[in-house]
A and B are shown apart, each in its own frame.
Chain A
């Protein structure tokens, strides 16, 4: 294999990886406020994509109208999840909140299946499938666009966390009780983080919908997104971005070399190994914070 081929694998891997990061950013937002990996993030991503399609395919609205409407709807879906499903769990063992996200995942997948069935629908963003020539490298256009969106969203959220509202969210993420004690509405903060994660889900759903079209399998993005989030450190946005790039490259390059040997399927193997090794060797991930211990 030559260097150009390796470079092309790496760059395309990194671009795909940034799309995993996009998904993982949604996980990190919820993890920061609720201390659980949101197992429903994949289902929310799929739901976001279906809602966009409902407005564009079924109602015939152009995508630039359908997407913002869906974002607003999903924002309220996120708020609603906190209010209906999570608020009463405050103070319960954390595993119960995790189980609640699993319940939500199954619920959303069941409902979308009932509404839209199993057939796969295209998300036609009108992006050309012709490769983009970057010197000697052939790159996928939609991946480039998605990667750009991912980085832009990351930057926007970083700035948001420096605003007064964002600082309050970070305070909630540090200590619920102390937040209540100074008059911060923890419930609303948690709701906001779910709302933002649901907005991220729409954006993720649109881009991945364009790549692999929209059906139930869209929710399986959860597995790679979770791996990226864990590798990045679960509560680190920057970690999610970097881990996405890393996993994307490993997966793409690894598969190219391993697939001929094992006869396919090594992509998932690479992902599994990354997840298992992270948990064993570096449970806090690349950038996850340890609780500060002063002696």
Chain B
């Protein structure tokens, strides 16, 4: 742990996790006391290997745990100073938390346009809906070109852009991205990360970025947490993490070739959760 903690705390974090534990199926302890903070308007990375508990941490924050028979069994999550207890995911989206889940899960049989509309709050007026869609298309011009094709037929990069754009339609204050670089060509990763950084700067959107691609992630965030086996084992500024020998050995050494995303692949999910 490092003294940067204090400077961060002074900035009134938008998200605070206070030693949370997560249980799956009432028995499997997947997260064993994770504490972390995302400063308001900041960008923070959560790094770690397969099975470390990165996705589980995000699901605890977004409330998606419930759908997988998981629950936060200890600790508290604060968003904007308020404890979010057991509320359902839609309430948390209402507060301004949006989670772009792992594996670019766009609505395959909807067009990009409909994907964006589906995510807009039902209370949003027609005009706002239209201007919000325009805004998203201005971030991702490639999507505008294909806005009436079925989203299932978009390329991997386009689907990831759509997944992010769809999340932005919910008007989030905190955007959580789960491995957006997974399986994408390096130039696309750069393109997508640039856009995320731009939105962060222009709109003050806070970002919690989960990545195995530490090289790319540490370029755009200010701080990073390293999680192993359900525990935070390191927390520091991006620069310090880049320089850290352990991190170099495990995540940066050997460069792209050592990234995990070549090994991982995702089965397309059916309509029902398993």
Contact = CB atoms under 8 A, between A and B. Distances in A.
B110 A171 contact: yes
Contacts of A174: 107-110, 271
Interface of B: 62-64, 67-69, 88-90, 92-94, 98-101, 105-110, 114-115, 117-122, 150, 152-153, 155-156, 163, 166-167, 169-170, 268-274
Interface in A85-116: 90-91, 94, 97
Interface residues of A, number: 29
B110 A170 contact: yes
A182 B169 contact: yes
Contact of B64 (A97, A170, A177, A185): A177
A165 B115 CA distance: 12
A94 B152 CA distance: 23
Contacts of A293: 268
* Interface of A (DSSP majority class): helix
Contacts of B109: 170, 173-174, 289, 292
B272 A35 contact: yes
B269 A181 contact: no
Contacts of A90: 67, 273
B55 to A, nearest CB: 11
B114 A170 contact: yes
Contacts of B115: 171
A97 B64 CA distance: 21
A184 B167 CA distance: 12
A168 B272 contact: no
Contacts of B63: 180
Nearest to A31: B271
Contacts of B167: 181-182
Interface in A159-183: 164-165, 167-168, 170-171, 173-183
Given A182-B167, A183-B170, A177 B114 contact: no
Contact of A182 (B119, B155, B273): B119
A176 B64 contact: no
Given A167-B117, A185-B90, A175 B269 contact: yes
Q: Interface centre among B69, B92, B114, by most A CB within 10 Å?
A: B114
A289 to B, nearest CB: 6
Contacts of B98: 181-183
Contact of A180 (B64, B155, B268, B274): B64
Nearest to B168: A182
Nearest to B68: A91
A181 B153 CA distance: 21
Contact of A173 (B93, B153, B163, B271): B271
A177 B100 CA distance: 10
A256 to B, nearest CB: 40
A170 B152 CA distance: 14
Interface in A1-42: 35
Contact of B270 (A35, A167, A178, A292): A35
Nearest to A91: B273
A291 interface: yes
A183 B93 contact: yes
A176 B268 contact: no
B135 to A, nearest CB: 16
A289 B271 CA distance: 12
A164 B122 contact: yes
A172 to B, nearest CB: 9
A213 to B, nearest CB: 38
A100 to B, nearest CB: 13
B247 to A, nearest CB: 29
Interface in A251-295: 289, 291-294
A292 B64 CA distance: 24
18 contacts: A91-B273, A94-B272, A171-B107, A174-B271, A176-B67, A177-B105, A178-B105, A179-B107, A182-B98, A183-B92, A184-B90, A289-B109, A291-B268, A292-B150, A292-B152, A293-B268, A294-B152, A294-B153
